[in-house]
Structures are given as C-alpha cells and as structure tokens.
Amino acid sequence: MMFLEQHPEYDGRGTLVAVMDTGVDPGTEGLSKTTEGKPKVVAIIDCSGAGDVATTTVKQLDTNGRLIGLSGRELQLGDWMNPSGDYRLGIKAAYDFFPTNLVKRMKEENKRQFELEQSAMYNAMHLRLKMLEPQKDANTEEYDSLQIASEQLSQMMKHYEDPGPIFDCVVFHDGTHWRAAIDASCNGDLRESPLLTDYHIEYQHATFSTFTLLNYSVNIYNEGQL
C-alpha cells in the first residue's frame, strides 16, 4: 500500500491488456473506469461468432411509415437520424448465444409461468363443462366448443416447447457511424431502445432485461451487413 502511495502512477496506465474469456461484462463496476477516469474496457470482440447477426436485408419505411421486421412484427422506430432511409434488418434467437446457465434459468421460469397459466385455463374450462353437463343438450355448441378447447389445451401442455426470445435487429447509418438497435422486449417497440455503435467508438453497452441482467455491446462490420 505504501508503494502505491509513493508511486500512484504505477497502476497500469499506458498498458493495453487483451483478455480472452468466455464472457467479459462491461457493466462490472471494477471495469468501468481507470484511475485516470478513462474507460477501462476499450474494445469488446466476440471471437466465437455466436453473436453474429446477418443484416443483409435492406428495407425502407412503407407508405404508411411502417417497417416490418424479419420476425414479422411491426417495428416502431425512434426519431433517428437516417439520411439514406435504408434500414438493415436481422433476427437473432436469444438461446443461440445466451450463457448456458441463463438459458436454463429462463426455460425453468418460462415453463413454470406457462404451466400456471395453462392450468388455470384448463381448470376453468373443466369447471364450466361440469356446470353444463346436466343441460349439455340445450347448450350443445358451447359444450362441444369447450371440450375441443380443453383437449387442445391438454395437448399444448404435453408438447410444450420454449423457443425463447427472438430479437429483431435494426442497423442503419446515421451519417457518421453505423448504429444498431435491438428489440430486447420482443414487442416491436424500439423507440426507447439504446442506439449503439461499435463499442470502441463510444464505449456504450445495454442490458437485455432486468430478469436476464445480461449486458451486451455491438460491433458492426462489412458496411452494415453483419
């Protein structure tokens, strides 16, 4: 400690270190700033390719001012500076690149929520069927409809699958830098989505959600195609 007090400049300043790891979180408090107040993490590069998103599809807003993402969702864009009017679209499944432990946690929680909601609907249908049983001949249409719906719901519960979140990605050039926005909420509303450029330019990152607590950054290559 005395040595550092006598030589405060011996703190690694001027030294660039490359860290090869399965994950480096730019949001970690200890990685935010150097002792000089400069960004400590100066570049984040995905060497695995897991986070690659092809953005070769180019579209402009239609006559109604709409933009349909590759997921099929109608995307609401922010008041962004886009001189060309061209938007490059991509799509990415969260489970393709989220950490294994996070995917496991998400699947467990999603299944729990699914079973709770489906069980409530299933029980409500069966309660109604029991009420209609004595007079089902007078309520044939409703009774038959409930039976079919109940059977379909039962099949859904047996064949449950969880594809996970599917993110629409939008890339465009603001006249100075390439920018990317990700529909992390999966509802098509990107108006409040962070607009990120290559990490080494602005040192910005964002978080997918409060549930995942997973931070991300972007690098845009090949004139916006990746």
pLDDT at position 197: 98
Task: Check whether 137 has a pLDDT greater than 80.
Answer: no
Within-domain flag for 153: yes
Within-domain flag for 123: yes
Q: Count up the domains in the chain and report the number.
A: 1
Q: Which residue has the higher pLDDT, 130 or 56?
A: 56
Contact 175, 84 (CB under 8 A): no
Within-domain flag for 190: no
**Structural domain span for residue 151:** 100-158
Task: Check whether 178 has a pLDDT greater than 90.
Answer: yes
Within-domain flag for 120: yes
Q: What is the dihedral of CA 185, 98, 23, 40, to 10 degrees?
A: -10
Euclidean distance between CA atoms 92 and 110, whole angstroms:
19
Tokens of 8: 């405060």
Average pLDDT (33-55) is 91
Average pLDDT (126-134) is 79
Within-domain flag for 128: yes
Look-up: residue for tokens 């209609």? 132
| Range from 2-11, 36-45, 137-146, 149-158 that averages highest in pLDDT | 36-45
Within-domain flag for 113: yes
Look-up: residue for tokens 């467990």? 108
Within-domain flag for 139: yes
Taking residue 70's Cβ as centre, other Cβ atoms within 10 Å add up to: 19
Within-domain flag for 87: no
Q: How confident is the model at residue 184 (pLDDT cuts 50, 70, 90)?
A: very high
Euclidean distance between CA atoms 168 and 188, whole angstroms:
8
| Per-residue model confidence as pLDDT tens digits over 84-125 | 999 999 999 999 999 999 999 999 999 999 889 888 888 887
Percent of residues, the chain, with pLDDT higher than 90: 58
Report how far Cα 4 is from the mean position of its chain's Cα atoms. Answer: 43
Task: Check whether 138 has a pLDDT greater than 70.
Answer: no
